[in-house]
Amino acid sequence: MTSAPRHPLAAPVVNAVVLRVTDRLETLLWHRDGGVWSLPGGFVREGESLDEATRRHLASKVGVTVVGHLEQLDTRASAGTHPELWLLDTAYVALVRPGPDDALPPDTAWHPVQELPPIAFGHAGAVHRAHDRLRGKLSYSNVAFALAPERFTLRELAALYEAVLGYAVSPTNLGRVLGRDGLIAPTGSTRAPAGAGGGRPAIEFAFTSDTLVVSRPLAAFKPPARGGGRDRAPAPSA
């Protein structure tokens, strides 16, 4: 005689890995009841798409209403996180630009991706998978548009890439590759050098599109380069 399944019903849930770059790559977490940190997310309502549910939870749980880029990361089944339901958990990557932290709910905070606190439901793995996805995507697309300010110098953009990739990136080479691929263009404005040392004004650039553009499709199928660091992914190169 076959026993009844422990979890007879399945239910869809979504969770978002929200990433931004300041001087480092950070993810946004909120405190659940009981004091444990969690990704923003929850159940999907009837008639609601997964994207709609993710945006709803981002707004209600962590106060994020403006997302530069949102995409599905993966879907995994879990029988150990709910007493009655078999959860089908779809993780998302949500990229945002830095903004004022005082706009966040009081139970919400940014954390360095390299120094994560304990995260509920084993979702620390989702953060690392989202980081790997972003590192790879930098090599074949304009995905940094969702993290960078509207205008930036090449040195500032290279610093953003370095924060995600974990190694030095040449501003000159980065600008040459992204410019040749048509992903960034000069705005016609310059920025005076900081400090009293003088120097040549820096040219300001902007991304040419505010939606995802895959500029090097074949690079998306290359395995990540192995070397100093976990699954090191290359910056755009010639």
Expressed in percent and rounded to 5, the helix, strand and coil fractions of the chain are 30, 30, 40
Residues 6+ apart with CB under 8 A from 180: none
Only one residue has tokens 């339901």, namely 85
Interatomic CA distance for residues 230 and 77, integer angstroms: 25
144-194 pLDDT per residue, tens: 999 999 999 999 999 999 999 999 999 999 999 999 999 999 999 998 876
Name residue 43's amino acid. Answer: F
3-state class (DSSP) for residue 168: coil
Q: How confident is the model at residue 229 (pLDDT cuts 50, 70, 90)?
A: very low
Token couple for 8 = 């007879």
Name residue 16's amino acid. Answer: A
pLDDT at 85 over 80: no
Count Cβ atoms within 10 A of the Cβ of residue 147 and give its class: 0-12 exposed, 13-18 middle, 19 or more buried: buried
Q: What percent of the chain has pLDDT over 70?
A: 83
Name residue 121's amino acid. Answer: F
pLDDT of the residue at 231:
44
112-148 pLDDT per residue, tens: 999 999 998 889 999 999 999 999 999 999 999 999 9
For 51-117, give the secondary structure using H, E and C: HHHHHHHHHHHHCCCCCCEEEEEEEEEECCCCCCEEEEEEEEEEECCCCCHHHCCCCEEEEEHHHCC
Domains of the chain by range and CATH?
Answer: 9-121 (3.90.79.10), 138-221 (1.10.10.10)
**Mean pLDDT computed over every residue of the chain:** 87
199: left (phi over 0), alpha (psi -120 to 50) or beta: left
- Look at the alpha carbons of 93, 215, 210, 112 in this order and tell me if their dihedral is positive or negative: positive
pLDDT of the residue at 224:
54
Name residue 4's amino acid. Answer: A
φ and ψ of 116, to 5 deg: -75, 140
The C-alpha R_g of the chain, in whole angstroms, comes to 20
* Mean pLDDT to the nearest integer, 34-49: 92
Token couple for 1 = 């005689």
